[in-house]
Amino acid sequence: MAELEREEGQPKYYCAQCGEALEFKRNISFVDAPGHEILMATMLSGASLMNGACLLIAADEYCPQPQTREHLAALNIAGIKNIIIIQNKIDAVSRAQTLENYKQIKDFIRGTVAENAPIIPISAVFGANINLVVRAFQEIIPTPKMNENDKFQFLIARSFDINRPGTAIEKLNGGVIGGSVLKGKIEVGSTIEIRPGLRIENNYSPITSTVISISQGSNRLDVANPGGLIGLGTKLDPSMTRGDSLIGQLVGELGSLPEVISEVELEVNLLERVIGTEDQIKVYDLRHNEKLLLVVGTEKTAGTVVKILKNSYILTLNPPICLPENFIFAVSRIINRRYRLIGYGKSIQHK
């Protein structure tokens, strides 16, 4: 915004109004959440990395649209309470229509996790009120306080091979893993462990490697702290990271990661109605031997109900997962030939 106000010949990175040099405050990463209901699991995996959210609502459409209802449900499930509501396209409707849409939004969010969220009317086309959105980032979604002394953990949201086809063996770069530092910090040259790791017949073997670079967008870093999205260049064989093959795996210091589990006990909270359907379908209890889709962090796994207890369910997992601490499970079942979100669960740890 400062660059847009800068006149030709004036120095960069100065405030056009007071003339003082701009001070770097924070770097913010964005995760775009798809609107279609069949991508609900993808959206929830992204929500697991967020410290806050912007709920985008069009002023020229009735509120709520089905995808808006789903996104708000996802924010509630993910426990995201720092929310900014952005009312876009105010340039496409009259003042009266904008105010009517505003009332619809207020009615929609009443009694939800977003009830007290600010509603900022904007025009993306004309850049109106974008400055208020940026200000809200710091006021509503402040930089979270992290303990850098914690053991390093990193959740993989992407993995890929950056080498072009035909690259000579001696010029190959190692595989890259992208995601977010959950806790602790990571430095270039550190040795890391990835779990569950490689599947060998019916077992999984952890993968170890070395971090050779850290990048955040076009910026190269020596150290990465919690928050934001980063890419870790490694010495992994690029065939292991190709095509997002390591999504959902957990990275940490050698010997510090939780055990890989193939069975979990969940305290399940079912929604009253199925998310993502035009008809208001009631959610019924989980059944013995029912096959479900579970999303935890950035991992998707199939869960089968093997035991129904008084206040919980025991499910087998395929594939097994390495579970980040305090992460929720999004639970979906097949309805009308598609997986639909029906609730969420929390892992019960017995000591």
Q: What is the mean pLDDT of residues 168-193?
A: 93
Percent of residues, the chain, with pLDDT higher than 70? 93
* DSSP conformation class of 10: S
* 313, 265 contact by CB (below 8 A): yes
Residues 195, 324: Cα–Cα separation, whole Å:
11
Token pair of 166 as six digits: 């035909």
* Cα separations in angstroms, 201 against 262, 292, 349: 15, 24, 28
pTM, two decimals, is 0.76
Half-sphere exposure of 197 (CA within 13 A, CB side): 21
Domains of the chain and any CATH numbers: 52-140 (3.40.50.300), 153-252 (2.40.30.10), 260-347 (2.40.30.10)
In this predicted structure, the answer to whether residue 35 has a pLDDT above a threshold of 70 is no
Q: CB-based contacts of 307: which residues, under 8 Å, 6+ apart?
A: 288, 313, 314
Percent of the chain with pLDDT over 90: 55
pLDDT at 277: 67
d(CA 59, CA 105): 10
Q: Which residues face 335 on adjacent strands? A: 338
User: What is the pLDDT, as a whole number, of residue 271?
Assistant: 82
In whole angstroms, give the CA distance from residue 309 to residue 341.
Answer: 22
- Distance, CA of 42 to CA of 232 (rounded, Å): 22
Q: How confident is the model at residue 46 (pLDDT cuts 50, 70, 90)?
A: low
Please say whether the beta carbons of 324 and 297 come within 8 A.
Answer: yes
> Is pLDDT at 113 greater than 70 in this prediction?
yes
- Amino acid making up residue 283: V
The pLDDT, as a whole number, for residue 350 is: 66
Q: What is the mean pLDDT of residues 288-293?
A: 95
Do 320 and 244 meet the contact criterion of CB atoms below 8 Å apart?
Answer: no
Highest mean pLDDT among 62-71, 244-253, 268-277: 244-253
**pLDDT of residue 38 exceeding 60:** no
338 pLDDT more than 90: no
Q: What is the pLDDT of residues 52-94, one digit of tens each?
A: 999 999 999 999 987 788 788 878 877 788 999 999 999 999 9
With 70 as the cut, is the pLDDT of residue 278 above it? Answer: no
DSSP structural state of residue 163: P
Write down the pLDDT at residue 327: 83
Give the CA angle between residues 119, 32, 58 to the nearest 5°.
40
pLDDT at 135 over 70: yes
